[in-house]
């Protein structure tokens, strides 16, 4: 019972921090920056999770939508790249910094409708499709606990199995569910021809992994997702070039960046595992500073995801 | 021709020469250069010993990172072909330097350096372009821009991937910025790098290397193909848990150096630290 209580406490606090981050932030000064990744793939950087944009004659395919107040700026940035309509939006998970703009960006887009589609796909005549793993819908709708979010930001097109495949703008796209990683609804999206992966928050370069325990995340699942990511990547040489990764937050990355992040996650895991197996309490673990060598790179003393909160979530997850 | 006219022509020629000075002052570094090993040879070719962090201004966090490092990392396929970072790769054998020049204007666009180690190639942009934003990709070679300062090429490098100061686990973070000087003295080339790493270094670290011009030099290929040498779990990453690395004491013991002096830190870079070591031995 104590474990469940702690898990809920940490998880709810995580979500509240994410939401309050939006409430406290002034978006007026936020600029949306565009980075060409490769071929017809771009990365948009603003506030919140990175947005991936794939362009082509089929339409504009985007991954994640940041916060709602930024939608007009995001739409304008996309218009600088293409005059095609937004037709698909993929959500990598349910957090507000990734789905906040779902409604606005969906409504500036469109879905090609015909045959039996209007009856099969809700909202198909009313903007772009929002595709996500089923758990994203369950989280946003409050069906798995927590506060229900407005229906207008819910996914319109979900899947429940390990993978959804699409072919769009001339290339195959794999949408791969990563169970119980950052949350329980994470997906990483692989553009096969461009050899670019949009990783969502299972990989970020700006801090320790955020493990949303109440949202179904776990430390073990985070490692598994990073292993999946690593195994999909083929560098051109050494650890550079070849497959590129757009992280949930932070800079465009190659295999070396993913390996560095994975190294940190595994090393801290192994240290915590030893401490927990030795019967150390959370306070004892904190005092031992098991992440001291990585703190200058990934740690934070302020903000919503401090080093202390990471250690608390990790300890909780590995104690179960 | 009158004295006045000749003086005028001479003056014009002088003025022309002055105006052309920036171009004429650009040293030409192109060619094959062979590394000299009179400096730091044991550290460069045989490689550093385990647990030797002396002379490096490592922070406590970096020291902990290094002490966790296991040489078994080289058995992991993803790490087998990991190249030396740009601030380390120049330590080995030859380098080749060549220029990219606009064929019409003769303006220098870029200088390229290829290292023997892993045959990595870096580009130093000389056309005044800006460095990319922070969210652009970081690589082992980083992003470099250069300018001539007197008889030296000064290079600023950002966007580095995490690398190492010494290949026994001492890290250099992706947050580091390099200032390099390539200085030519006839057939001798000196490369110096000034590494500022607020994440993992207490103070900036300076490294120098010397080369001799080799007009007949050839650089050999350096292919690398990863192979699976041992079957390990997918979530395996070799490292030592704190306090469990048995090799950390070997270096000091083998060379008669107090263990504390092997741990590095800014003070170990300076000559007066010898007195500190002596006092430890007393």
pLDDT at B21 over 90: no
Which residues on B lie below 8 Å from A262 (Cβ)?
237
**pLDDT at residue B7 in the model:** 46
**pLDDT at residue A32 in the model:** 98
Question: Is residue B133 assigned to a domain?
Answer: yes
**pLDDT confidence band for B203 (50 / 70 / 90):** very high
Question: Is residue B90 assigned to a domain?
Answer: yes
**pLDDT at residue A117 in the model:** 66
Percent of chain B residues past pLDDT 70, beyond the cut:
90
CA–CA distance, A118 with A184 (Å, rounded to integer): 29
Q: What's the gap in Å between the CA of A124 and the closest CA on chain B?
A: 35
Question: Is residue B39 assigned to a domain?
Answer: yes
Which residues on B lie below 8 Å from A270 (Cβ)?
239, 241
**pLDDT confidence band for B91 (50 / 70 / 90):** confident
Mean per-residue pLDDT of chain B: 91
Contact: B235, A294; criterion CB under 8 Å: no
Closest A-chain CA to B73: A263
**pLDDT at residue B25 in the model:** 59
Reported ipTM: 0.90
Contact: B136, A240; criterion CB under 8 Å: no
Mean pLDDT of B38-58: 92
CA–CA distance, B14 with B7 (Å, rounded to integer): 10
Contact: A239, B82; criterion CB under 8 Å: yes
Question: Is residue B142 assigned to a domain?
Answer: yes
Q: What's the gap in Å between the CA of A35 and the closest CA on chain B?
A: 7
Interface test with A, best of B62, B81, B135 (most A CBs within 10 A): B135
Q: Which residues pair with B98 in a beta bridge?
A: B112
Closest B-chain CA to A254: B137
Question: Is residue B6 assigned to a domain?
Answer: no
**pLDDT confidence band for B144 (50 / 70 / 90):** very high
For chain A, list the domains and their CATH numbers. Answer: 29-258 (3.60.15.10)
**pLDDT at residue B231 in the model:** 87
Of A251, A255, A290, the CB nearest to B78: A255
Q: What's the gap in Å between the CA of B68 and the closest CA on chain A?
A: 9
**pLDDT at residue B10 in the model:** 45
Question: Is residue B92 assigned to a domain?
Answer: yes
Which residues on B lie below 8 Å from A221 (Cβ)?
none
Q: What's the gap in Å between the CA of B257 and the closest CA on chain A?
A: 25
Which residues of chain A have a pLDDT value below 70? 1-24, 117-125
Is the Cβ–Cβ distance between A307 and A285 less than 8 Å? no
B108-135 pLDDT tens trace: 999 999 999 999 999 999 999 999 999 9
Q: Per mean pLDDT, which range of B23-27, B163-167, B179-183 is the poorest? A: B23-27
CA–CA distance, B64 with B41 (Å, rounded to integer): 26
Which residues on B lie below 8 Å from A266 (Cβ)?
235-237, 239
Closest A-chain CA to B61: A293
Question: Is residue B274 assigned to a domain?
Answer: no
Q: In what order do the strands lie in the sheet with A163-168?
A: A163-168, A171-178, A186-191, A196-200, A244-247
Closest A-chain CA to B67: A293
Contact: A238, B82; criterion CB under 8 Å: yes
Question: Is residue B267 assigned to a domain?
Answer: no
**pLDDT at residue A10 in the model:** 55
Strands A86-90 and A129-133: what pairing? parallel
**pLDDT at residue B114 in the model:** 97
Interface of B with A (CB under 8 A): 59-62, 64-65, 68, 78-79, 81-83, 118, 120, 133-141, 161-162, 173-175, 199-200, 224, 234-237, 239, 241-242
Write out the residue range of the structural domain in which residue B113 sits: 31-48+74-213
Of A271, A293, A296, the CB nearest to B241: A271
Of B59, B135, B239, the CB nearest to A251: B135
**pLDDT at residue B22 in the model:** 46
CATH number at residue B91: 2.40.128.20
Closest A-chain CA to B141: A240
Number of domains comprising chain B: 1
Q: What's the gap in Å between the CA of B21 and the closest CA on chain A?
A: 38
CA angle A309, A313, A318 (to 5 degrees): 150
């Amino acid at each position: 019972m104590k474990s469940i209580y702690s898990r809920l406490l940490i998880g709810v606090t995580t979500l509240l921090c994410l939401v309050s981050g939006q409430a406290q932030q002034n978006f007026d000064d936020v600029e949306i920056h565009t980075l060409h990744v490769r071929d017809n793939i771009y990365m948009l950087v603003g506030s919140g999770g990175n947005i991936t944009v794939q362009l082509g004659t089929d339409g504009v395919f985007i991954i994640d939508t940041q916060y709602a107040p930024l939608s007009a700026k995001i739409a304008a940035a996309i218009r600088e790249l293409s005059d095609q309509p937004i037709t698909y939006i993929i959500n990598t998970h349910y957090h507000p910094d990734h789905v906040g703009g779902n409604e606005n960006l969906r409504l500036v887009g469109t879905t090609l409708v015909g045959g039996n589609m209007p009856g099969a796909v809700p909202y198909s005549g009313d903007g772009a499709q929002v595709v996500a793993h089923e758990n994203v819908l369950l989280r946003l709708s409050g069906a798995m606990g927590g506060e229900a979010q407005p229906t207008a930001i819910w996914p319109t097109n979900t899947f429940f199995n390990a993978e959804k495949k699409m072919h769009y703008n001339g290339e195959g796209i794999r949408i791969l569910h990563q169970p119980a990683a950052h949350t329980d609804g994470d997906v990483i999206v692989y553009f096969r021809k461009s050899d670019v992966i949009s990783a969502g928050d299972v990989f970020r370069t700006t801090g320790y992994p955020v493990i949303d325990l109440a949202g179904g995340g776990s430390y073990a699942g985070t490692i598994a997702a990073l292993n999946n990511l690593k195994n999909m990547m083929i560098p051109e040489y050494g650890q550079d070039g070849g497959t590129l990764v757009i992280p949930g937050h932070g800079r465009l990355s190659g295999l070396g960046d993913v390996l560095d992040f994975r190294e940190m996650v595994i090393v801290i895991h192994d240290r915590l595992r030893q401490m927990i197996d030795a019967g150390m309490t959370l306070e004892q673990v904190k005092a031992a500073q098991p992440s001291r060598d990585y703190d200058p790179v990934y740690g934070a003393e302020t903000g919503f995801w401090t080093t202390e909160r990471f250690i608390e979530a990790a300890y909780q997850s590995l104690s179960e | 021709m009158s004295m006045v006219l000749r003086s005028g022509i001479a003056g014009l020629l002088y003025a022309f020469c002055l105006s052309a000075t920036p171009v004429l002052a650009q040293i030409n570094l192109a060619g094959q250069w062979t590394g000299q090993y009179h400096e730091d040879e044991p550290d460069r070719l045989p490689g550093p010993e385990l647990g030797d962090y002396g002379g490096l201004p490592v922070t406590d966090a970096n020291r902990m990172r290094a002490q966790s490092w296991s040489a078994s990392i080289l058995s992991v396929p993803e790490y087998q072909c990991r190249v030396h970072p740009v601030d380390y790769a120049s330590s080995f054998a030859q380098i080749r330097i060549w220029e990219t020049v606009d064929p019409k204007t003769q303006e220098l666009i870029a200088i390229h350096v290829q290292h023997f180690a892993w045959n990595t190639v870096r580009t130093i942009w000389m056309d005044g372009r800006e460095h990319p934003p922070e969210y652009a990709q970081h690589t082992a070679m980083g992003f470099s821009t250069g300018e001539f300062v007197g008889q030296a090429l000064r290079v600023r490098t950002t966007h580095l991937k995490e690398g190492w100061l010494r290949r026994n686990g001492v890290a250099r973070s992706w947050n580091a910025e390099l200032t390099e000087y390539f200085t030519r003295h006839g057939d001798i080339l000196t490369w110096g790098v000034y590494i500022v790493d607020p994440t993992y270094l207490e103070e900036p670290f300076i490294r120098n290397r010397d080369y001799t011009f080799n007009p007949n030099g050839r650089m050999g290929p350096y292919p690398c193909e990863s192979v699976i040498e041992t079957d390990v779990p997918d979530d395996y990453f070799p490292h030592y848990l704190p306090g469990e690395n048995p090799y950390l004491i070997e270096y000091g013991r083998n060379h008669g150096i107090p263990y504390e002096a092997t741990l590095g830190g800014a003070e170990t870079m300076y000559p007066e630290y010898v007195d500190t070591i002596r006092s430890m031995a007393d």
